[in-house]
Structure 1
Amino acid sequence: MASIKATEKQTVDGLARVAGGKAAQLRRFTYNPLLGRPAVTGFGPGLLCPSPQLVWRKATPAGIYHTGREHFGTGFLRETGYLFEEYVGRQLRLIPDAEVIGEIPYRVRRDERLSVDWIVVLDELVLLVEVKSMMPAENARLGLEDGVAETDAKLAHAYRQVNTTSAQIDQRNPAFAGIPADRPIQALIVTLEPFPIANANLPHVDLPVPDIPTTVVGAQELERLVTLTDITPSSLLLERAADPQRSTWALNECLNGHENSLNPILVQGWASYPWASGQLEPGPRTAL
């Protein structure tokens, strides 16, 4: 750990010593005010968009997430979490021949608890899925040590939930009688945006040690995983877990090179937009 801290400090200090180096190499990962306000005034009549691609980004999950938090507070984030959990369940049901089970209530002595959000029973694998509507903070995007600690703190509860559910299945808690115990168990922790360093072989001081192979994946990675056509999701996950090196990679790296069908949920979502058919319906102008 000490050597990692020293190396990181040398790197950051070295960038700072180079004229403009820190700004050039790290600033692009920091917050850009245009992300929140892509259209600005004060530069002549009308609105000016210095970076037009940031306008459509306001309609992406990240844009909606932060705009909603700004306008509606933490209640919006809580509701987003519920919707994202249901969305992940819809994606999991796209896996052929998968039995997708929602969170299971169970008791430990007098305590009433809930399992992970979804349990997917496949022919070769049981997959525990915990959903977290979270995104990497600035320190994580900068690749700093604090970013690892912040990420671990956010993911710690999900890891504990995975370990607890796995233990209940192993101990044959009656509430989990319908979950097979004759095949490997793995876990996915699904987040709104990717957390690549979460799977890396780094010192995760505040992160519980997973009892089963556990992978943190972004929503986009899940959308690709469930539509694989040249390999089953369970086969890919089992092969990845068996490889000491690939098991530390982001799932996207293991998905590259494989074939996918179109994701019908994404197709349906795209078709719901007014411009999908090439015709725009009239409506009031909305300020960005």
Structure 2
Amino acid sequence: MDAADDHKWFPWAISAIAKESVLRGNEYRHAEIDNRRLSKLVHLLNSSSDVSPGQSAASLLTPIMYEQFPYQESAYEEMARTHALLVYTEPGESSIPWDEVLGVGLDEAVRASHVLHAWVVNNAGRFDPRILDMPHFQEIYHKVAPRAEIEAAAKLLTADIPSLRDARREADERASLPSRLERYAYNPLKSQPLVDLGREGIWAPQTMLVSRAFLGANLYYRGLARWGKPFADELGDRTQRYVGRQLSLLDGVVLYPEIEYSKSQRSVDWIWVSDAAVILVECKAARLSLDAQAGGDSLAGVMGRYLGAARDQIDRTAGLIRADHSAFDHIPKDRPIVGLVTTAEQFYLAGTPFSGFQSSGAIPAATASLRDLEFLVGLPERDAAHLVIDHAHPNGEGGRFGGAFSDSERKRRNPILEEAWSHFDLLTDMDQETADSDK
């Protein structure tokens, strides 16, 4: 695209257009695209509507948020959390053998994808493997990432058109969406964003997908495909430990791990005792299904299954505390009890009147993602506790938790993320800036 062009294309629109081109294009449609044609496609996408009569606010807003918001989140937290959640291991705990899936360690794969991202951004979206042999590129192998790691990542992220179509077909066999939700259906470019067009070269239609290919949901599904339920269980345990590590950053916090009050019966994952309230923290590593993210028929049921189960656990633990169960003798009884449900991914509408799920419970509760939690623990402990209390309501409609932080609060230091980022310390300043520069 001409650098002088003043158009600003929304990244989710480019992703959707690229997906349709990959899945529906053929050899007879070979006209070159220019800004005028691209502008027309973006306009058609933006003006398209699949609103159904009687559609709820949740089914209307959820797909829009899942389509757009991930592109607007800082890559810093996503990259750092990837290490802190999926690589960092306490002594005595088992590590995840990511090299079985990626060919290299996860840190190395993330760093190499960052190099590839910077590469395609600065080469108008093209990835030319011949540059690996050029003299000026050799310095990269010493300062940023070894050649073998870059090549391994490039191989994993590259696919031709038939392979991408096969990936979509396999995804549809596992869980297909109705045709009216095609805009939000699985996009194979999120896992393999480099498209091999043969003699036409290798291209990244949406360069932002390159640096995100080894983050978030992509890693979740790669791990699930390789290890199945044991991986999901491991992720649940890691999420619980990660939440505890983050809460421990609060100054002077009093924090207790889950309590086994009867054989094989446990409390919520963490009990945070603040001067203002006892905060019961339940962690959920589950992710919304693709149909739920698209605002499909399963949305309310999935929200109920995940958040509802967490609310039940909070209510159960609160009942034991109030009933003076001996296992909870060390928990104060002289202050209110509220709940905090933490989710591994963003449940964007959780805690709002538009969630589509009445997250009711006997104990008022708020819902926060790990991203929200990382901002929360930057506050003084007292302020953090009051923020949870302010967002905790019996019916779950306390307002979107993530919208409660000011710009300055989002910039507070988080030692866990900073330590995790240090594992990518071969990245130059230019690389870090490039992580969010693609539009």
TM over 0.5: yes
Pick the structure with more helix per residue: 2
User: Aligned residue for 2:421?
Assistant: 270
Among 1, 5, 8, the alignment partner of 2:55 is 8
Does the 8 Å contact 1:270/1:276 carry over to 2?
Answer: no
Once the two structures are superposed, residues 1-52 of structure 1 have per-residue CA deviations (whole angstroms, 9 ceiling, x without a partner) of: xxxx95218x99xxxxxxxxxxxx9655332111122223243376432222
User: Aligned residue for 2:344?
Assistant: 192
Tell me the TM-score normalised to structure 2 length.
0.53
Query: How many residues of Structure 1 are paired with residues of Structure 2 in the alignment?
Result: 259
Does the 8 Å contact 1:240/1:254 carry over to 2?
Answer: no
Tell me the TM-score normalised to structure 1 length.
0.78
- Quote the Cα distance in structure 2 between the aligned partners of 1:175 and 1:142: 43
Does the 8 Å contact 2:364/2:396 carry over to 1?
Answer: no
* Paired letter, 2:186: Y
User: Aligned residue for 1:131?
Assistant: 283
Q: 1:138 deviation in Å?
A: 2.5
User: Aligned residue for 2:313?
Assistant: 161
* Paired letter, 1:194: Q
Among 184, 204, 227, the alignment partner of 2:357 is 204
User: Aligned residue for 2:210?
Assistant: 55
Once the two structures are superposed, residues 223-263 of structure 1 have per-residue CA deviations (whole angstroms, 9 ceiling, x without a partner) of: 11111259710122233347x99943210112236635211
* Paired letter, 1:80: L
Q: 1:69 deviation in Å?
A: 1.2
* Paired letter, 2:293: R
- Name which one, 1 or 2, has greater alpha-carbon Rg: 2
- Quote the Cα distance in structure 1 between the aligned partners of 2:222 and 2:285: 15
Structure 1 unmatched runs, 5+: 13-24, 281-288
- Quote the Cα distance in structure 1 between the aligned partners of 2:376 and 2:227: 33
- Quote the Cα distance in structure 2 between the aligned partners of 1:55 and 1:85: 29
Among 222, 225, 229, the alignment partner of 1:67 is 222
1:29 aligns with 2:184: yes
Superposed counterparts of 1:173-192, under 5 Å: 173-192=325-344
1:120 aligns with 2:275: no
What is the CA RMSD across the aligned residues, in angstroms? 3.3
Does the 8 Å contact 1:106/1:115 carry over to 2?
Answer: yes
Which fold has the larger relative contact order, with Cα–Cα distance below 8 Å and residues 6 or more apart in sequence? 2
User: Aligned residue for 1:285?
Assistant: none
- Quote the Cα distance in structure 2 between the aligned partners of 1:231 and 1:163: 23
Once the two structures are superposed, residues 110-134 of structure 1 have per-residue CA deviations (whole angstroms, 9 ceiling, x without a partner) of: x541001111111212111111112
Q: Secondary structure at 2:342's aligned position in 1? A: strand
* Paired letter, 1:204: F
Q: Secondary structure at 1:130's aligned position in 2? A: strand
User: Aligned residue for 1:43?
Assistant: 198
Structure 2 unmatched runs, 5+: 1-51, 60-179, 432-439
Q: Percent identity?
A: 30
